[in-house]
Structures are given as C-alpha cells and as structure tokens.
Chain A
Amino acid sequence: MTMDTPATGNTRVSKASQGNLIASAGRPDDFELTEEERFEIEHEMGHYENPRAASIGALKTVQKRRGWVSDGAIIAISDVLGIPSSDVEGVATFYSLIFRQPVGRHVILICDSSSCFLTGYDELRDALSDELGIGLGQTTGDDRFTLLPVCCLGACDRAPALMINEDLHGPLEPGEVSALLERYT
C-alpha cells in the first residue's frame, strides 16, 4: 500500500500552491486524481442509474492507493461525480471503513461483537494495545498500525477474530499477537 505524507490543509502548504493561490483556492491540499483513479471511478459510475451511486466506490478507489481520503480528494471526487462536496463528505464520514485522516500502513480491525466478546475479545484487545502502545482508534507513532473496532466479522466460528488489511485471523490467543504483528512490517 502506498501512503501519502500525512497532510492537512493547515500544516502542508506546498510550493506549488504558494505560487498559484487562485488555482488552489478551495483545495485544502494539492490533490489530483490519477488517470487510473479517474478511469476506475468513471467505470463504476456506468454501473448505476445515477453517478452519485459511485460515491462510496470512488472513496474506496482513492483510499486503496493513498491509505486515506484527504479534503482535496473529497472535492476531486465531487467534481467527477457532479454532486456537492458536502454530500461526498457526508458519505465519507458516515461509513466506518472510509478514513478521513491518515492511518497506519496496516489497519487492524478487531471484532468486538458478541461471539468474540464471549471467547476472549477483551484479552485480545488488551494484548494488542500493550504490544502496540495504542488504544482503539489510534495509530502507532511509526505509522505502522492503526487499531480499530469492527462489527461482527462473520467469523464467529473462529472467534476471537480480527482482520489485518485484507487478511482474516482467528481464533487468536493473546500470546499469539506478537508473532502475528511481526508479519506486517
């Protein structure tokens, strides 16, 4: 996964935007969709009666390559879909798997629903927190891991379970956490 330098409008004013303030007006960062991203979004739009339906897919397209969705990406997506950026922002902030701030290189989704709760979720979460030095919703200082809770992963027969990026793991003992994390550098 490639990562942008964590960027917000206030902290990262690039030389380009200092040189051309008018062009960057309304764009909190110098965000441009790549050709590939634009193609993927436009292709997705063709699957629905209305381009708006591609908004979640467009956010996922951007996030897949950049790790998260910046303010500039929201505006760029709204331009392609032809809908207000406030609508795209409304969608982006509603869905839990769209990240509106930078996350670590690896995102851990730990299932906290009932079957995992009954079989050791608390102990597993504590082991992760101890190992990483962060709590739920936080990212490690080296930007390696972000730890997030997630709805029932549908892996109750392998509880307690979690996902790291696209990999499902379970059942897990707290003692296995350290070795598991080693696999994600």
Chain B
Amino acid sequence: MTSHLFSTSTNGETHPLTYRLREDRGYVGLEEFQQKDGYEALRNTLRDLSPDDLIENMKTANLRGRGGGGFSAGTKWSLTARGDEHPRGYIVCNADEMEPGTFKDRMLMQEIPHLLIEGMILAGYANNARMGYIFLRGEYVLAAERIEQALAEAREAGILGPKVCGSDFDFDIFLHTGAGRYICGEETALINSLEGRRANPRSKPPFPGQSGAWGKPTVVNNVETLCNVPAIALRGGEWYQGLSGGRSEDGGTKLFGVSGRVKRPGLVEQPMGITGAELLEMAGGMRDGLELKTWLPGGGSTGFLLPEHLEVPLEFDAIGKAGSRLGTGLMTVVAHNQSVVSLTRNLEEFFARESCGWCTPCRDGLPWSVKILRAIERGEGEEGDIDMLVALANDIGPGKTFCAHAPGAAMPLETAIKHFRQEFEAGIRHQKREAHAEPIPVGSV
C-alpha cells in the first residue's frame, strides 16, 4: 500500500528526499539507510559544525516550510531562543497531515522514517533542544509502526539518547499520536494538543521559538521540511539552493503530487519551480473524456487556479502572484463536468466542521457560508447571497482570527466566486422585488 511515484532516481545529488527509497517501496531500515549515506550528515555535523554554522547553511539553502506556510526554515531556527540563558526546548515535527489533497508525508514516514529522525536530531542540535516529538495523526497506523521501529533501531545504535553518535549532545525523540481534528496541524494548536489540551490556537507573540511547549523554546517543522535537513547539512546550503537552478529562488526539491480526475494520481520529487502542466502530464493527463476546468495547487486552503495558470512555476511567490498559495504543493485536479459551487460547498463544510470554535468569525462565519452555498447548490440562493459570501470571505480573512484556519477557508471561497461567478449566479432564484411589496395577509406566517 504505497503511493505511485511518477519517476524515481537513486542520485542523492538531485533527489535528496527520495533517492534512498527501495524499489519494492518497503521500509528502509537502519542498516540500509546507513549504507546509503544515512546519518553521515549527522556525524559530520556533530564533529565539524557548530549550531550556528548549520543555521547559516539552512538560511543559505532557502528551504521554505513544506507544510504549506512557506516560511524560511533557517530564519525560523535563527529566531529560536537558544543561548545559555534559555532553557533547552523542543523540536516538534508536525506530522498531522490532513490538508485535503495532501499525501506526501505519509510516504516519507512509511518508507524512510530514519531520514526524518536524522533531520530532527540535526534540528535539535541547531536549536539546542533537549527532546523531539513527532506529532502524528492517529489514522497513520503504518507510519506509526515504522517510526517506532526506526526510533528503536536508532536508540539501540546510540544515534538517539545520551551522547548522540558519541558526541556530547543528548537528544531523544518520542512519537505522539493524535486523535483527529485538522486544527492540530496549526503550530500553536498542535502545541496545546501535545500538552494534552483542546487544540485551540494560541495568540502570537510570543512565538513558539520563544515560548512553546510547556513555555520552552519550541521549533515546529513539517515532516518534509525536516527530511530536507540532512542533505543540506551534508552537501551545503548553496548546493541545495542550486537544485532549483534557474527555475525558482526557493531552494531545493519538493515532493509534488497530483490527485483528482487524472489518469494516474501520484507523487514525484522535483525542483521548486516545476509547472502544473508538467505535473499533469506526469499524471497521465485528464481521465478519458474529461477536460481540465480548474485546480487547487496545494490543498483545500489554497485558491482555485485556471488552466492558463498551468505554466506558472510552482513556487511560493509565483503562485502567490497568480492569486493562490503553493500550500503543500500537491495539486487537486477538477474536471469540466464538476460544479464548482458543489466543490466549494464541500470545502467549506470541511472547514466549518474542523473549526475549533475559538474565534467567532470562524466558528459562526464558516457554517453561515455553508448554509448559503447549500442553498445556491439547490438553486435556491437569494439575491445578495453572492455578495454575502464575498463579505464573509473578507470578514474571516487574515488578521481577523488567532490562526490561519479561517483565512485558509476564505481562499477557495473567494477565488471560486472570482473565477466562476456565473455558476454561483445560476443558483440564485431571481424573485421580482415587487413581490415582497405585496401586503402579507395577517396570520399567514
């Protein structure tokens, strides 16, 4: 049970995330991982590099957060409180993969969890952390088994625990499995959940790098982000930045993917800046008889793009300029015969259900949008409904709530209306205004 890969390579210089994957796509155990240079970056770094050197390398690499936020990982690390005057904190791996349309971290954790462990130990070293937690969604049962197996192997080999690889650095990692709720993927809500609380987000500042889990400096990074760290430590930030050579300022490669109404959904590691057109072709194109209508570039909280945007480089800035977000970089492909109103209703139902309820615009605004969308879907929308949806999208946008859940929900809503307004208008029941002017008989309501 593994994801289809469009292409593979055993070249670590070009495919740092996937070159060690097995042909049978089984678990890469400690021995095999080490035969393929595994933990070499960790040993070299502990021997030759200071934490500051590693952070500089990360900044040069320009590795932008692969969970969808796109914030520079090196910058995040450089802002972490880590001097002698600060307590040693935590590295938390965000493995709560639940963004609609996203299935990349599952593959990394099922097949090559040692890569994640190596990345986390390096992150711990750079940020002076005492311990790491992998916050894994509860449904990823096989990933949990493989991570536990890899953790045990690493402890047994002296790679985790006191004196990592014989150095003076102590670090251990625990697997923490969740119990549902998309909001746990928001980094401050994740910290609350890790502490055993309801997963409501926290106000920022203070940022987790200053005060996170149990008030200690905490770095929260996505699985794929952390999996990139060993190669950066081994081959250098400049090499990593150059991987996307000429195509994008964003450094490195990324796991891209395609799902939806295509012939062959799957994943592929490609340089930042590849286009949607190239990915769509790798996925075998649209299923027979279908034409592309619209697509989401990186999950349910990204904005709809049109076929003409297939040539835009898949990188954070270019996709932003096109009116969407790169998000997780796994595109969801929508065919010509799909109602965009229905799909938007499905997306907003998701966000309404998954709202944690902490902020009023999100808790009340999202179900309201669902109610209107359902009416329009039935052809029972009323005059003013589209304007109301636009106003709602604005009222739940950035800065109105503690976290990015509601702004994420607003993005597909407002871009659906922007690109497909005529479909929404078709769901409005046009009543003549004067009908309302008729006197209402007493007792009829």
The verdict on A172 contacting chain B, using a C-beta distance below 8 Å, is no
Among the listed stretches B95-103, B154-162, B247-255, B307-315, which one makes contact with chain A, having 4 or more residues with CB under 8 Å of it?
Answer: B95-103
From known contacts A109-B139, A151-B350, infer whether A119 and B196 are also in contact, taking CB-CB under 8 Å: no
From known contacts A47-B174, A114-B300, A118-B260, infer whether A157 and B197 are also in contact, taking CB-CB under 8 Å: no
From known contacts A54-B196, A150-B139, infer whether A115 and B101 are also in contact, taking CB-CB under 8 Å: yes
| Chain B residues within an 8 Å CB radius of A150 | 139, 180
The verdict on B229 contacting chain A, using a C-beta distance below 8 Å, is no
| Chain B residues within an 8 Å CB radius of A157 | 3-4, 103, 257, 259, 265-267
Closest B residue to A90 by CB, please name it. Answer: B198
Of B196, B330, B354, which is in contact with the most chain A CB atoms at under 10 Å from its CB?
Answer: B196
| Chain B residues within an 8 Å CB radius of A113 | 100-101, 300, 346, 350
In the bound assembly, the distance between CA atoms of A56 and B179 in angstroms comes to 7
Judge whether A94 and B198 touch: CB under 8 Å: yes
Judge whether B214 and A49 touch: CB under 8 Å: yes
A-B contact count (CB 8 A): 144
From known contacts A56-B193, A98-B179, A156-B259, infer whether A114 and B198 are also in contact, taking CB-CB under 8 Å: no
In the bound assembly, the distance between CA atoms of A49 and B335 in angstroms comes to 50
The verdict on A59 contacting chain B, using a C-beta distance below 8 Å, is yes
| Chain A residues within an 8 Å CB radius of B267 | 157
The verdict on B256 contacting chain A, using a C-beta distance below 8 Å, is no
Judge whether A97 and B179 touch: CB under 8 Å: yes
Q: From residue A133, how far is it (CB to closest CB) to chain B in Å?
A: 24
| Chain B residues within an 8 Å CB radius of A94 | 181, 198-199, 356
| CB neighbors of B among A84-108 (8 A) | 87, 90-91, 94-98
| Binary contact readout B236-269 vs A (1 if CB under 8 angstroms, 0 otherwise) | 0000000000000000000001011100011100
Judge whether A96 and B100 touch: CB under 8 Å: no
In the bound assembly, the distance between CA atoms of A87 and B198 in angstroms comes to 9
Closest B residue to A163 by CB, please name it. Answer: B139
| Chain A residues within an 8 Å CB radius of B353 | 149
| Chain A residues within an 8 Å CB radius of B198 | 90-91, 94
Q: How large is the interface on B (under 10, 10 to 19, 20 to 34, 35 or more residues)?
A: 35 or more
Q: From residue A43, how far is it (CB to closest CB) to chain B in Å?
A: 11
Judge whether A97 and B106 touch: CB under 8 Å: no
Judge whether A60 and B177 touch: CB under 8 Å: yes
| Chain B residues within an 8 Å CB radius of A52 | 195-197
In the bound assembly, the distance between CA atoms of A91 and B181 in angstroms comes to 12
Judge whether B4 and A118 touch: CB under 8 Å: no
| Binary contact readout B116-139 vs A (1 if CB under 8 angstroms, 0 otherwise) | 000000000000000000000111
Closest B residue to A113 by CB, please name it. Answer: B100
| CB neighbors of A among B142-195 (8 A) | 174, 176-182, 193-195
Interchain CB contact (< 8 A) of A119 among B141, B261, B349: B261
In the bound assembly, the distance between CA atoms of A98 and B3 in angstroms comes to 28
Closest A residue to B195 by CB, please name it. Answer: A53
| Chain B residues within an 8 Å CB radius of A56 | 178-179, 193, 196
| Chain B residues within an 8 Å CB radius of A49 | 213-214, 216
| CB neighbors of B among A131-167 (8 A) | 149-159, 163, 166
Interchain CB contact (< 8 A) of A114 among B100, B103, B105, B197: B100
In the bound assembly, the distance between CA atoms of A86 and B97 in angstroms comes to 29
The verdict on B420 contacting chain A, using a C-beta distance below 8 Å, is no
| Chain A residues within an 8 Å CB radius of B101 | 113-115, 152, 156
Closest B residue to A157 by CB, please name it. Answer: B265
The verdict on B332 contacting chain A, using a C-beta distance below 8 Å, is yes
Q: From residue A90, how far is it (CB to closest CB) to chain B in Å?
A: 6
| Chain B residues within an 8 Å CB radius of A70 | none
The verdict on B402 contacting chain A, using a C-beta distance below 8 Å, is no
The verdict on A168 contacting chain B, using a C-beta distance below 8 Å, is yes
Judge whether A95 and B338 touch: CB under 8 Å: no
In the bound assembly, the distance between CA atoms of A53 and B141 in angstroms comes to 21
Judge whether A154 and B197 touch: CB under 8 Å: no
Judge whether A151 and B354 touch: CB under 8 Å: yes
| Binary contact readout A17-60 vs B (1 if CB under 8 angstroms, 0 otherwise) | 00000000000000000000000000000011110111111011
The verdict on B390 contacting chain A, using a C-beta distance below 8 Å, is no
Q: From residue A119, how far is it (CB to closest CB) to chain B in Å?
A: 7
| Chain B residues within an 8 Å CB radius of A168 | 1
Closest A residue to B356 by CB, please name it. Answer: A94
Q: From residue B289, how far is it (CB to closest CB) to chain A in Å?
A: 15
The verdict on B375 contacting chain A, using a C-beta distance below 8 Å, is no
In the bound assembly, the distance between CA atoms of A118 and B334 in angstroms comes to 7
Closest B residue to A115 by CB, please name it. Answer: B259
In the bound assembly, the distance between CA atoms of A49 and B22 in angstroms comes to 38
Judge whether A95 and B179 touch: CB under 8 Å: yes
Interchain CB contact (< 8 A) of A154 among B106, B181, B193: B106
Judge whether A166 and B141 touch: CB under 8 Å: yes
Of A49, A54, A55, which is in contact with the most chain B CB atoms at under 10 Å from its CB?
Answer: A49
In the bound assembly, the distance between CA atoms of A50 and B90 in angstroms comes to 14
Pick the 3 closest A-B CB pairs, nearest first.
Answer: A96-B180, A156-B259, A95-B179
Binding site for B on A (CB under 8 A): 47-50, 52-57, 59-60, 81, 87, 90-91, 94-98, 109, 112-115, 117-119, 149-159, 163, 166, 168
Given contacts A48-B194, A98-B179, 20 further A-B contacts (CB under 8 A): A53-B194, A56-B179, A90-B198, A91-B196, A94-B181, A94-B199, A94-B356, A96-B181, A97-B180, A113-B300, A117-B346, A118-B261, A118-B338, A151-B350, A152-B300, A154-B98, A156-B257, A157-B257, A157-B265, A166-B141
Can you sample 17 A-B contacts with CB below 8 Å? A48-B194, A57-B177, A91-B197, A95-B179, A113-B346, A114-B101, A114-B260, A117-B346, A118-B334, A119-B260, A151-B98, A154-B97, A154-B106, A156-B101, A156-B102, A156-B103, A156-B257
